Chains A and B, each alone.
Chain A
Amino acid sequence: MNALSRRRLLGAAGTVATMMTFAPEAWAQGKDRLVIGMSLEPPVLDPTRNAAAAIREVTCPSIFESLGRIDRNGAIGPGLAESWSISEDGKEYLFKLRRGVKFHDGESLDASVVKFSLDRLFAADSTNPAKSLYTDIDKVEAVDPSTVKVTLKSPNSFLLYSLSLGDAGIMHPKTAPTNDKNPIGTGPFVFKERKEGDSITLAKSPTWRDPGSIKLNTVIFKIVKDPSAQVSALLAGDVDAFPGFQAPELVDRLRKDPRFVVVVGTTEGEVLLATNNGKKPFDNPKVRQAIAHAINRDELISAESGFGVPIGSHFAPHNKAYIDLTKTYPLDIPKAKTLLAEAGYPNGFEASLKLPPVGYAQRAGEVIASQLGKIGIKIAISQLQWPQWLSEVFKERNYDLTIVAHTEANDLDRYARDGYYWAYNSPEFKAKWREVVAATDFAKRDELLKDCQRIIARDAVNGFLFQLAKIGVWRKDLVGMWENSPTPQVDLTGVYWKA
Chain B
Amino acid sequence: MIEFLSRRLAAALVTLALATVVVFAVVEVLPGDPALIMLGTDARPDTLAAIRAQYGFDQPLLTRYLQWIGGLLTFDLGNSHAYGTSVGKLIGDRLQVTLPLGALALSWALLVAIPLGVFAAWKHGGPGDWGVMGLTQIGISIPNFWFGIVLVLLFAVTWQFFPAGGFPGWRQDTLGSVYALILPALSLSLGEIAILTRVTRSAMLDTLREDYIRTARAKGVPERTVLFEHALRNALIPVMTVTGLIAGFLIAGAVIIESVFRLPGVGQLVYDSINNRDLIVIKNVVILFTILVLAVNLLVDLAYALLDPRPRISA
Contacts and interface: CB of A to CB of B under 8 A. Distances in A.
Taking chain B's interface residues, is the majority helix, strand, or loop, or is none over half, making it mixed? helix
A16 B259 CA distance: 16
A228 interface: yes
Interface stretch (B122-130, B165-173, B194-202): B165-173
Nearest to A411: B42
Given A197-B269, A224-B165, A233-B166, 13 more contacts: A24-B160, A126-B50, A127-B39, A127-B51, A223-B262, A225-B259, A229-B165, A232-B165, A236-B160, A236-B163, A386-B32, A387-B30, A387-B275
A197 B94 contact: yes
Contacts of B286: none
A195 B264 contact: yes
B60 interface: no
B260 A229 contact: yes
B262 A229 contact: yes
Interface string B158-202: 101001111101000000000000000000000000000000000
Contacts of A233: 164-166, 262
B103 interface: no
A125 B38 CA distance: 16
A131 to B, nearest CB: 5
A115 interface: no
Interface in A35-61: 41, 43-44, 49-52
Given A235-B164, A386-B37, A197 B149 contact: no
Interface stretch (B8-16, B79-87, B216-224, B294-302): B79-87
A-B CB proximity, top 7 nearest: A51-B40, A387-B32, A197-B264, A236-B164, A198-B264, A43-B82, A180-B84
A49 B38 CA distance: 8
Contact of B275 (A50, A198, A386, A408): A386
Nearest to B90: A196
Interface in B24-65: 30-34, 36-44, 47, 50-51, 54
B38 A1 contact: no
Contacts of A223: 262
Given A198-B167, A224-B262, A391 B33 contact: yes
B104 to A, nearest CB: 19
A52 B261 contact: no
B268 A395 contact: no
Contacts of B163: 236, 238
B156 interface: yes
Interface string B255-266: 110011110110
B232 to A, nearest CB: 37
B110 interface: no
Contacts of B261: 229
Nearest to B34: A387
B228 interface: no
A344 interface: no
B82 A44 contact: yes
A469 B8 CA distance: 59
Interface string B234-277: 00000000000000000000011001111011001101101111
A238 B166 contact: yes
A228 B47 contact: no
B153 interface: yes
B83 A43 contact: yes
Interface stretch (A5-13, A209-217, A489-497): A5-13
A232 B157 contact: yes
B221 to A, nearest CB: 50
Contacts of B268: 197
Contacts of A238: 163-166
Given A23-B160, A41-B272, A196-B85, A129 B264 contact: no
Contacts, number: 170
A385 B275 contact: yes
Contact of A387 (B93, B143, B255, B277): B277
A196 B163 CA distance: 20
B145 A12 contact: yes
A67 to B, nearest CB: 20
B135 interface: no
A367 B98 CA distance: 40
Given A129-B39, A224-B262, A229-B260, A13 B149 contact: yes
Given A129-B40, A197-B269, A236-B164, A9 B145 contact: yes
A21 B47 contact: no
A44 B82 CA distance: 6
Contacts of A4: none
A347 interface: no
Contacts of A86: none
Given A43-B276, A197-B269, A132 B42 contact: yes
Contacts of A27: 160
Interface string A373-405: 000000000000111101110110000000000
A232 B152 contact: yes
A132 B44 contact: yes
B150 interface: yes
B146 interface: yes
A285 to B, nearest CB: 25
A126 B47 CA distance: 7
Given A232-B164, A235-B164, A388-B31, A130 B259 contact: no
A226 interface: yes
A129 B47 contact: yes
Contacts of B276: 43, 387
Nearest to B93: A196
A279 interface: no
Interface in A305-351: none
A197 B272 contact: yes
B272 A195 contact: no
Interface in A187-246: 195-198, 222-226, 228-229, 232-233, 235-236, 238
Nearest to B81: A43
A128 interface: yes
Contacts of B264: 195-198
A195 B169 contact: yes
